[in-house]
Structure 1
């Protein structure tokens, strides 16, 4: 019995090894960027400042996660909710409209959304969350529609034959079966928005885009690399975490 438990713990550790490794590397660079000053000086030998110090990298990471997380939660609620609504008998007439609106949200450049939102919402975090929300809706809406619509009609009929109500069929049959496809859409949406959120630094929303924008403005390649590497590691961490959470579709 003890050997079985030990084997189970080893399997669990191996299962989460990849996201854990990316997370450790992300935190190590976030907390210890100064230790790499010698390497970054090769990129900017003539610059007085090599490591971005206008804000703590850990604080920037937290703000970046807050923006992406808030936009992601809103996009999941709106996207999944809208997709479920238009797959019900009373909402099917609105299915093309919801699909088109979600598509428009991603084809409309986030920079343009920021340009339109800033005069109304002001500078800072709010317009960035709005832009990320619109940009992240399409994969969630599309995958939720595909997941629910792809369920065999016989499965629904069997559930009705067992006396299930429409709400019970949705909660106990449709959503569990569609979960892998829905989660894949959420994974795509969140991962893309981790990179897209960097543009928020252009409108006063402090995040990991700060060193990138500062580096571009001041011609400091080291700043740009520092911000880009941290954003890339964050995206890899979150994406690998989603990969481990993905259920298999039965």
Structure 2
């Protein structure tokens, strides 16, 4: 009974049901938008668009985690502290640079498809992870670090066994923000030929088809909510695991 009351489970069920039933919702959208000759997007399977969307977000987010976490660790070590302002400035520029502008610059060099979209999503996703890594490592009590140093731990051992585990909740919050941002931003990738849940939105905008826009927007929004709740569950699990230990 407790499983049946799980909101995350119901969100997942709603998302899957929407994917499966959307192609058969012509009567509903015909009622909502009677002026449209084709009220349901049929050019691509919503399931294939969702898989392509999550693949794009997954690859770009994984690379952003590696870059953000790696840079955050590097500039908090004695050898890299002098590079911290430079790294933060570069990450901030990547966040403030519009993804559409990145796509416009990358397409002539790389071509249409997923590659320019991945570059744009990486640039957009690094800053929250970097900031969370810096904040999480800064919040580790110095007394704990001193005790671990007194126990004979090397710098790498202190990082892996003390600092990163204690900073994990804050870092996870940054990863969560980055991924959610990228789920929404990935819809723009359809403007350069990448298949995503933004494809119905882009086609709807170009063809003045409000139903297409609504269908794509509903799926993107619900996908972001499901992933956000999943991250919340993961954070709860990690905090509970730490208390048990």
Instruction: Establish whether TM, by shorter chain, passes 0.5.
Output: yes
How far is 1:48 from its partner?
Answer: 1.8
Aligned residues: 239
Please give the alpha-carbon distance, in whole angstroms, between the structure 1 residues aligned to 2:15 and 2:109: 35
Q: Give the alignment's TM-score, normalised by structure 1.
A: 0.92
Alignment RMSD (CA, Å): 1.4
Please give the alpha-carbon distance, in whole angstroms, between the structure 2 residues aligned to 1:14 and 1:172: 37
Please give the alpha-carbon distance, in whole angstroms, between the structure 2 residues aligned to 1:155 and 1:225: 52
Consecutive unaligned residues in structure 2, runs of 5 or more = none
What does residue 88 of structure 1 align with? 77
Indicate which of 16, 21, 28 corresponds to 1:39: 28
| Runs of 4+ off more than 4 Å | none
Contact 2:23/2:42 (CA < 8 Å) preserved in 1? Answer: no
How far is 1:44 from its partner?
Answer: 2.1
Consecutive unaligned residues in structure 1, runs of 5 or more = 1-9
Paired residue secondary structure (2:44): coil
Contact 1:191/1:235 (CA < 8 Å) preserved in 2? Answer: yes
Is 2:86 the partner of 1:104? no
Can you list the C-alpha shifts for 1:99-149, whole angstroms capped at 9, x where unaligned? 111111110000010011111110000000000000001100000000001
Paired residue secondary structure (2:146): helix
What does residue 21 of structure 1 align with? 10
Please give the alpha-carbon distance, in whole angstroms, between the structure 2 residues aligned to 1:204 and 1:195: 17
How far is 1:18 from its partner?
Answer: 2.3
What does residue 103 of structure 2 align with? 114
What does residue 192 of structure 2 align with? 203
What does residue 178 of structure 2 align with? 189
How far is 1:188 from its partner?
Answer: 0.2
Paired residue secondary structure (2:57): helix
Is 2:24 the partner of 1:49? no
